[in-house]
Amino acid sequence: MRVFLKSLGCRLNEAELQLWGQQFLDAGHQLSAMENADLLVLNSCAVTGEAARKSRQLIRRLHRENPTARLVVTGCYASLNESEAAAILGVDLVVDNSEKEQLVEKINEHFQHDEQLLQTMPAFATEPGESALFIRNRDRAFIKIQDGCRYRCSYCIVTVARGDERSRTINDIITEINNYSLQKIYEVVLTGVHVGGYGSDLDVSLMQLVKAILADTDIKRIRFASVEPWDLPDTFFQLFENKRLMPHMHLPLQSGSDMVLKRMSRRCNQDSFRQLVNDSRKAVSGFNITTDIIVGFPGETEYEWQQSLDFINEIGFGHIHIFSYSHREGTRAAKLPDQISPTIKKLRSKELSNIAKTMKQQYMAEMVGTEIDILCESGIETLTDKRFQFSGYTANYHRVIVQATRDISGLILPTKLKGLTDDGRYLTGDVVLPSSPLKVPLISVKQL
């Protein structure tokens, strides 16, 4: 059976796709392009109203572009709106988040009498082969370490969709990472709904997991997905003395106003967040903090908005993800008074966007002239017949555009940073190529 896997939203959704991809391969199926697939699987998102709309839109597009394939929908949108998702034209099966771990089994069970699919089912499972990384993420693997969240921030619908916290065992995670390492994958990202809450149900901690990964794997680069700022112990940043831990963390602030944070039911304030950032930068030179900010939370006054901007400017972030507050039924914030108008949200988002852009460019400009390792991405763009453009990420997660005359995708190479792109979005640099032959000829690399 030819299977196409697609996700919207967070890195956790991508990590789940990688797990399912491996399970389908181990069962003897093939991963396929969408137009050739017998089965389409969409891992949907509902973090905002716009994400839910995009999920519905993508479901319809998948069916329209491959109407003969069976279509399975799972993820947060499908779990929160099961009847609605099931009623969309072309949807054959909806799998709730609570059943995601058995998704491949559920699909086999549901379609066991489907004559069309039976013709494509393998008679037996093949031996496990190459890891099921997808083209866009061939250079790093997202590792799902846990699911669910014990906290209930007043705006968050994801905790409703994902349920209680459930952690994978340390041994299971170690095994997965070592399998990727054998496949010459150099970077992993630890992801989940509540990454910092890892092990709450197993009587272990994120810190213990990281120590085990450092001790029992040889993976070269380790990153974290979003980690709530209140979850990290005072000694956490001592771990970064090991250079395999990349000097970057995404710590979602959501607002720089203590009053707004209280209405959000966040478990941090200005003082605790400031201390955390200071600890990280004191422990690790060049440590990059990125964050999320919600604009226009119910009741956010102009005074509170200015408080938030002042605090953001004080802290300084390498990148800011900006979200306009999205009204989500089923959350406590949906019942709060003084909802902010779309016009004000738009104006505030634009104001913060300008600040964030300037802040990011300043951070990148400070790195110009230094030499730093980057992991070069698989995708390339042809500039001429003999020159190609690649992008990659520094250890502290700034994107760099480089050029080369050979295929350098998937390699970690020292790079001299020389400036910013014309639009100021990325760094540019010159890679230092190794003298030994590189892994594959350029003719084998697909042009984007």
SS3 sequence, 191-224? ECCCHHHCCCCCCCCHHHHHHHHHHHCCCCEEEE
Look at residues 367, 384, 403 and tell me which one is the last residue of a structural domain. Answer: 367
- 159 domain-assigned: yes
- 183 domain-assigned: yes
The helix/strand/coil state of 169 is coil
Domain range enclosing 414: 371-444
- 354 domain-assigned: yes
CA atoms of 407 and 423, how far apart (whole Å): 26
CA atoms of 289 and 314, how far apart (whole Å): 13
387 contact partners, CB below 8 Å, separation of at least 6: 403, 404, 405
What does the pLDDT read at residue 314? 97
Check: CB of residue 337 under 8 Å from CB of residue 307.
Answer: no
CATH number at residue 112: 3.40.50.12160
What does the pLDDT read at residue 166? 95
Residues 206 and 173 in one domain: yes
Q: Are strands 412-420 and 388-394 parallel, antiparallel or unpaired?
A: unpaired
- 435 domain-assigned: yes
Residues 335 and 380 in one domain: no
Residues 205 and 338 in one domain: yes
What does the pLDDT read at residue 378? 65
The helix/strand/coil state of 165 is coil
pTM of the model: 0.85
Phi, psi dihedrals of residue 337, rounded to the nearest 5°: -75, 175
Question: How many CA atoms are closer than 13 Å to the CA of 62, on its beta-carbon side?
Answer: 31
What does the pLDDT read at residue 379? 63
CATH number at residue 151: 3.80.30.20
CA atoms of 394 and 400, how far apart (whole Å): 7
Residues 111 and 167 in one domain: no
Residues 248 and 316 in one domain: yes
Residues forming a β-bridge with 324: 295
What does the pLDDT read at residue 119? 54
Phi, psi dihedrals of residue 284, rounded to the nearest 5°: -135, 120
CA atoms of 188 and 225, how far apart (whole Å): 10
Residues 144 and 240 in one domain: yes
Which of 151, 150, 154, 145 has its CA nearest to residue 164?
150
User: CA dihedral in degrees (298, 300, 301, 303; nearest 10)?
Assistant: 170
The helix/strand/coil state of 129 is coil
CA atoms of 263 and 322, how far apart (whole Å): 19
- 392 domain-assigned: yes
Residues 150 and 289 in one domain: yes
Residues 50 and 168 in one domain: no
Tokens representing 234 are 């005072």
CA atoms of 146 and 121, how far apart (whole Å): 31
CA atoms of 79 and 67, how far apart (whole Å): 23
225 contact partners, CB below 8 Å, separation of at least 6: 10, 11, 12, 142, 189, 190, 191, 192, 195, 250
Residues 190 and 329 in one domain: yes
What does the pLDDT read at residue 154? 95
What does the pLDDT read at residue 40? 96
Query: One digit per residue, pLDDT tens: the chain, 448 residues?
Result: 899 999 998 889 889 998 899 889 888 888 989 999 999 999 999 999 899 999 999 999 999 999 999 999 999 999 999 999 999 999 999 999 999 989 999 998 888 766 565 555 443 333 334 444 543 446 789 999 999 999 999 999 988 889 899 999 999 999 999 999 998 899 999 999 999 999 999 999 999 999 999 999 999 999 999 999 999 998 999 999 999 999 999 999 999 999 999 999 999 999 999 999 999 999 999 999 999 999 999 999 999 999 999 999 999 999 999 999 998 989 999 999 999 999 999 999 999 999 999 999 999 999 999 999 999 986 667 776 678 888 999 999 999 999 888 888 888 999 999 999 999 999 999 998 766 544 433 323 333 2
Look at residues 367, 398, 420 and tell me which one is the last residue of a structural domain. Answer: 367
**Mean pLDDT for the chain overall:** 89
Number of domains in the chain: 3
Q: How far is CA 293 from CA 155, 195, 250, in A?
A: 12, 19, 12
Which of 53, 71, 68, 77 has its CA nearest to residue 85?
77
What does the pLDDT read at residue 439? 47
What does the pLDDT read at residue 274? 97
Residues 197 and 297 in one domain: yes
What does the pLDDT read at residue 444? 32
DSSP 343-408: HHHHHHHHHHHHHHHHHHHHHHHHHTT-EEEEEEEEEEEESSSS-EEEEEEETT--EEEEEESS--
Check: CB of residue 94 under 8 Å from CB of residue 73.
Answer: yes
CA atoms of 155 and 331, how far apart (whole Å): 6
- 387 domain-assigned: yes
Residues 269 and 187 in one domain: yes
- 326 domain-assigned: yes
Count CB-CB contacts under 10 A for residue 375: 21
Tokens 């009053």 locate to 259
Residues 100 and 143 in one domain: no
What does the pLDDT read at residue 224? 96
Rounded-to-5 percentages of helix, strand, coil across the chain: 40, 25, 40
CA atoms of 223 and 265, how far apart (whole Å): 27
Look at residues 367, 402, 422 and tell me which one is the last residue of a structural domain. Answer: 367
CA atoms of 408 and 402, how far apart (whole Å): 10
- 312 domain-assigned: yes
